[in-house]
Amino acid sequence: MNFLAHIYLSGEDPELKIGNFIADSVKGKKFLEYPERIAQGITLHRKIDAYTDSHEIVKESMAKLSPKYGRYSAVIVDILYDHFLAANWTRYSDTPLDKFTVDFYGLLNENYEILPQRIQNFLPYMIRDNWLLSYASISGIGNVLSGMNRRTKNRSKMNFAVIELEQYYTDFDREFHAFFEELELFTKNEMRNL
């Protein structure tokens, strides 16, 4: 799952949200250097990723992309699934997506010092371009995929995955909702065990 899903799955716990959000920038046992609840958010993120990567529905989505994008298919599916979460936000949350994103950016700014350097570096751009809200549109996801392609020095060709998003839109939508229902249950159980 990508940023929006990880944040959403953290519920109303601010520290868990921060940990779940920064996890990809915290390697190995470095999570132990963070306050306990943020460290638990990092652990939760890793469990969500492991569950997602091994799930049959996610593999079904990846199969549509694998012939063209190979090992980048998993990353693309994570991003596409964030689109379906954002585009169907009212199905999952009573808080409007624009308010949810503004509140989250405020939380990050309030805790700026604890964020890893990588997050501090891209945070101004994330806020300026409102990445999380932009996920709701196909053009917004296209921008995200183009940015990811640049990060791979144009090797991934992820910028073209909007074609598959539009081609298989109904399939991806169905797969996302079926998977996300199971992921929410998994996450709630894991949060009880933190």
The band of 32, judged by pLDDT with boundaries at 50, 70 and 90, is confident
Given a cut of 70, whether residue 98 has pLDDT beyond it is yes
Mean pLDDT, range 163-174, rounded to an integer:
97
Given a cut of 80, whether residue 176 has pLDDT beyond it is yes
**Phi-psi category of residue 26: left, alpha or beta, with phi > 0 → left and psi -120 to 50 → alpha:** beta
Given a cut of 90, whether residue 2 has pLDDT beyond it is no
Q: Tell me the pLDDT of the chain averaged across its residues.
A: 95
**What percentage of the chain carries pLDDT values higher than 70?**
99
Mean pLDDT, range 83-87, rounded to an integer:
98
Closest CA to 142 of 80, 86, 81, 89: 80
**Phi-psi category of residue 93: left, alpha or beta, with phi > 0 → left and psi -120 to 50 → alpha:** beta
Model pTM score: 0.95
* Res 194: pLDDT: 81
* Res 1: pLDDT: 64
Mean pLDDT, range 38-64, rounded to an integer:
97
Given a cut of 90, whether residue 158 has pLDDT beyond it is yes
Q: How far apart are CA 61 and CA 64, in angstroms?
A: 6
Given a cut of 90, whether residue 190 has pLDDT beyond it is yes
**Phi-psi category of residue 35: left, alpha or beta, with phi > 0 → left and psi -120 to 50 → alpha:** beta
Mean pLDDT, range 117-126, rounded to an integer:
94
